[in-house]
Amino acid sequence: MTLSFAPGDADAIPLHVLSESDWTDWCAAHEGQTRDWLEQLGFSGALGQVMLAPDSGGAQAFVGYGSTATRRRGRFNGADAAARLPKGTYRLVTELPDHERDAFALGWLLTGYRFDRYKSQPSNSATLQVPNGIDGDRLATIANGEALTRDLINTPAADMGPADLARAAADLADRFDASCTVTEGAALLEANLPMIHAVGRAAAQPPRLIDMRWGSDGPSLTLVGKGVCFDTGGLNLKPGSSMGLMKKDMGGAAAVLGLTQMIMALDLPLRLRVLIPAVENSVSSNAFRPQDILTSRKGLTVEVNNTDAEGRLVLADALSLADEEAPDLLISMATLTGAARVAVGPDLAPFYTDDEMVAAALAQAGTAVADPVWRLPFWDPYEAMIEPGIADLDNAPKGGFAGSITAALFLRRFVSAERRYIHFDMYGWQPVAAPARPKGGVGQGTRAVLDALPQVLGL
């Protein structure tokens, strides 16, 4: 599906977005039938209220915008009116501050997102004309990148295995004249990507490394996304309750592909490379085992103490490959640890970087575009936790303390010290529906990165 604004010329229904105090002011200035109508129906400007009222010769719509305090609890405030108003074309007539107007308009588009791949009847929804002062094309591009991310995550593993993920990447590449090569199965061993092979070899669909490139000028950016299409945990099998959501374990890959679509559609002046290890962490007689020792692309050996800590293994080889080319900025995105969720819950995407400027730019961008991210530390004193007895590294430190940090430290071992590197330990899933974020797959960190890129890369 394509998310878009309504054409500007249609006969649009005026849409008021009024906070509680705006409503008081509005009442003072608008004595008469419309005010009586809304008052009688109890409109107060409370966040989430949606009402229609007569206008001279037509209709008008009112959306409650609450107060600063209620808005702080949410994101894309009021934008879910898109799902609750009757089908029609609306025109925002309230002047909102810049950031809020952007969030409202983007939220309106994202509210129109449906995962309709398995639904027979199309949905109908209210559409919004591009509000004044907004770059409608840019917002629509961002919304459609996010929709791609959601579609990829929401598609069950039976239809989104490593082969399907590779096809999705190739389709995206085709649309923007990007190149896309895929290294598959035993070829991974020849290409010296042994850990991607080890994790994915037990699955019916062979493991792959997807390698996309786009753009010929400007600074270089490499995105690496965890593409574990289903995570059973491998031989250290997950309990059923933990396995239930693991179709989303390619959320990092989905986020990276959504961001890639945004970057290409906006034609950003940079050279982009996208690396996605696409595997299924499955169970079979040839599965990798606890206590196996793997030799990574970089040469570091890894003792497998839990086959469920598979994400860092496939990412390590992809990061080594990325690092060899010395990109100006390297970003990994991954649904890497349950510990990240214990720490910050489903809303926030923790990120790691040693670069203070990058950290500040990301945090600020996240707030500005309603894509909140939160910095956690690459805490050097915990390095000892990922060093076991008989190999260089341990993929699953005992004790379970600081699980997101130790996973991040593990990844950093495969990136040169001088590289500008950002790692996101994301969730990729909205557990309870909220405005513009239906229950299901969701991108995290992508819009924050997009917003921070000009500053970080000097575009």
What are the structure tokens assigned to 138, written together?
Answer: 């840019």
Residue positions counted in the chain: 459
By the 8 A CB rule, do 349 and 426 touch? yes
Q: Which of 75, 312, 412, 420 is catalytic?
A: 312
**Residue 393, CB half-sphere, CA atoms under 13 Å: how many?**
25
Among residue numbers 281 through 310, which ones bind ligand BES (CB under 6 A)?
A: 306, 308-310
Residue with tokens 């409608």: 136
Q: 404: alpha, beta or left, given left = phi > 0 and alpha = psi -120 to 50?
A: alpha
Say whether 91 is catalytic.
no
Tokens of 259: 């961001």
Number of residues in contact with Mn ion, rule: CB under 5 A? 3
| 3-state SS class at 380 | helix
Looking at residues 308 to 327 of the shown chain, list those that interact with Zn ion (rule: CB under 5 A): 311
DSSP code of 425?
A: E
> What is the three-class DSSP state of 289?
coil
Contact residue for Mn ion among 211, 231, 317, 394 (CB under 5 A): 231
Note the helical H segments in 266-355.
311-324, 338-344
Q: Kindly state the smallest distance separating residue 341's Cβ from ligand BES, in Å.
A: 6
Query: Which residue is catalytic, options 35, 167, 213, 238?
Result: 238
Options 60, 77, 332, 335; binder of ligand BES; rule CB under 6 A: 335
Least Å from the CB of residue 228 to ligand BES: 6
Q: Among 308, 317, 394, 425, which residue sits at the site for Mn ion (rule: CB under 5 A)? A: 308
247 has catalytic annotation: no
Site for ligand BES in 214-243 (CB under 6 A): 231
| 431: DSSP letter | S
User: In this chain, which stretch among 66-74, 192-200, 231-239, 429-437 interacts with Zn ion, using CB under 5 A?
Assistant: 231-239
User: Nearer to ligand BES by C-beta: 180 or 304?
Assistant: 304
Q: Is 346 in the site for ligand BES (CB under 6 A)?
A: no
User: Which residues, 6+ apart, have CB-to-CB distance to 246 below 8 Å?
Assistant: 157, 228, 230, 231, 232, 238
Region of 142-150, 241-249, 312-320, 344-352 interacting with Zn ion (CB under 5 A): 241-249
341 binding partner (options ligand BES, Zn ion, Mn ion, none; Cβ < 5 to 8 Å by kind): ligand BES
Q: Which tokens is 199 given?
A: 């994790």
> What phi and psi values does residue 150 have, to the nearest 5 degrees?
-65, -45
306 interacts with, out of Zn ion, Mn ion, ligand BES, none, CB within 5 to 8 A per kind: ligand BES
Residue 425 interacting with Mn ion (CB under 5 A): no
> Which of Zn ion, Mn ion, ligand BES, none lies near 451, with the C-beta cut-off 5 to 8 A by kind?
none
Site for ligand BES (CB under 6 A): which residue of 338, 346, 372, 431? 338
Distances from the Cα of 15 to the Cα of 8, 106, 139, 260, angstroms? 14, 16, 19, 34
Assess 184 for contact with Mn ion (CB under 5 A): no
Q: Which residues lie below 8 Å from residue 187, measured CB to CB, with a gap of 6+?
A: none
Please tell me whether residue 249 binds ligand BES under the rule CB under 6 A.
Answer: yes
Interface with Zn ion by CB under 5 A: which residues? 228, 231, 249, 311
Interface with ligand BES by CB under 6 A: which residues? 231, 249, 306, 308-311, 335-339, 341, 396, 403, 427
**Which of the residues are catalytic?**
238, 312
